Structure 1
Amino acid sequence: MRNIAAFFSILMPGFGQIYNGQFIKGAFFIITEHFDNALGQINKAIHLDLNGLHQQAVETTNFEYMLFYPGFYAYCVWDAWYYAKPNADKTKTAIPFIMGGFLGEIGAILANRLPIPTLTVAMLMIIPMICGMIAFRNQ
């Protein structure tokens, strides 16, 4: 099922590709995600942010690596969702995922001005992607 593949990739980029049977691509995405996450200190920032230490979360993050993450994340979710259905329309279905990646990038750039940066950036990415999955469920 298409939505299951997408939700696996929302949980961890690469899991949706593995669910679709694309093991090499999935393994590549998982390795890329782990390196980017570790070098950008994204999990540490999420931990600090959700515990109320918002400014420390922004200061901890290495934005040289973190700014790669929203686009990569949105692409992984779209890729899992798109390739789970044969003959899907690639041009239309990508729009909400591109919007999610773009909004995630803008949110990351403006993170020091957001009240809860990591949660806000996550919602800026995930909400358009889920709306796209609902809107284009038949394509």
Structure 2
Amino acid sequence: MAARKTSTRLPRDYLGLLDTPVLHLRNPYLIAWWSVAFPGFGHLLLGKYFRGLVLVMWEFFINQYSKVNAGMVYSFMGDIETAKEVIDVKLLLLYMPVYFFGIWDSYRTAVDLNDEFKLSERENSPIRKYTIESIGINYLDKRSPVIAILWSLGVPSLGQIYQHRLLQGFFTLIWTIIVVYYSHFMEALVYLIQGDIERSTNVLDMQWLLFLPSFYFYTVYDAYINTVEINKLFDKEQSTFLTKNFQDLDFKILKGKVVE
């Protein structure tokens, strides 16, 4: 039985010095949900980094100046009149179309990339294992999903850096520092530990603080799911290599039995 020809038309991964995009199956509804939580996150999960980063920065800019987060806080407290006063309606009308576009586009892209993944599987597309250049090295390796989660729980972005996904990792780290600084989260945490709950509450900037939960839980989820998928890709590459170089061409398995 002749060996199946490997296609170079649909590669499964790209081992760059700044990131490791991987093609794999994704749940389009889950991707759309992350875009609901924070515009751009769905695209980042898909590896659409430029579009995702632009949407994330747009969300920070337009949300900060339209005061959507502050309006949400007051509405949760039942103070509807104050919520109406703080929100800039003119900017809000710019916010909504881009927000819904991010949800729709991430869902559509997830469906398309799932089709591309199925084609790459059918064509036995190649998997890159090493990238070595004068300024650095990146390689496909198995890593622990639990370790990735723990680092992300400690400081958002460290799970991505652990996977050698530096572009997204450092971008997330910078914005996490900005959000923590302007929300006064660390100050509030210190006062809370000291038992001064009133001062802890008063020092918080809720407009900035509402950015933090989405960032925090997104990095944990992203670190876990990408570690699992990179590990699957590593196993696939090892299996393909061993089959191609060490398995007899006449070797085949039928209904769970080895046929020689």
Please, what TM-score do these two structures have when normalized by structure 1? 0.61
Please tell me the root mean square deviation across aligned C-alpha atoms, in Å: 1.3
- Give the structure with higher Rg (CA): 2
Tell me, yes or no, if structure 1 residue 75 matches structure 2 residue 224.
no
**Alpha-carbon offset, residue 33 of structure 1:** 0.3
In structure 2, what is the Cα distance between the partners aligned to 1:86 and 1:36?
A: 29
Unaligned regions of 5+ residues in structure 2, if any?
Answer: 1-143, 232-260
How far did residue 42 of structure 1 move?
A: 0.4
**As a proportion of its length, which structure holds more helix?**
1
**Counterpart in 2 of 1:13?**
156
Cα 1:87–1:30, aligned 2, differ >3 Å: closer, same or farther? Answer: closer
Provide, for residues 77-103 of structure 1, a one-character-per-residue CA deviation record: whole Å limited to 9, x for no partner.
100111001179xxxxxxxxxxxxxxx
> CA–CA distance in 2 between the matches of 1:86 and 1:68?
27
Which runs of structure 2 are paired with 1:1-139 in the superposition (5 Å)? 1-86=144-229
Task: Supply the AA of the counterpart residue of 1:11.
Answer: G
Taking every aligned residue pair, what percent have the same amino acid on both sides? Answer: 25
Aligned-partner Cα distance in 2 for 1:24–1:6? 18
Structure (1/2) with the larger strand percentage: 2
User: Distance between the aligned counterparts of 2:168 and 2:230, measured in 1?
Assistant: 19
* One-letter identity of the residue aligned with 1:69: L
Find the counterpart in structure 2 of residue 112 from structure 1: none
Aligned equivalents of 1:30, 1:65: Cα separation in 2: 16
Q: What amino acid sits opposite 2:168 in the alignment? A: K
Q: Name the SS of the counterpart of 1:57 in structure 2.
A: helix
Alpha-carbon distance in 2 for matches of 1:47, 1:28? 26
Aligned length: 88
Structure 1 unaligned regions, length at least 5: 89-139
Displacement over 4 Å in runs of 4+: none
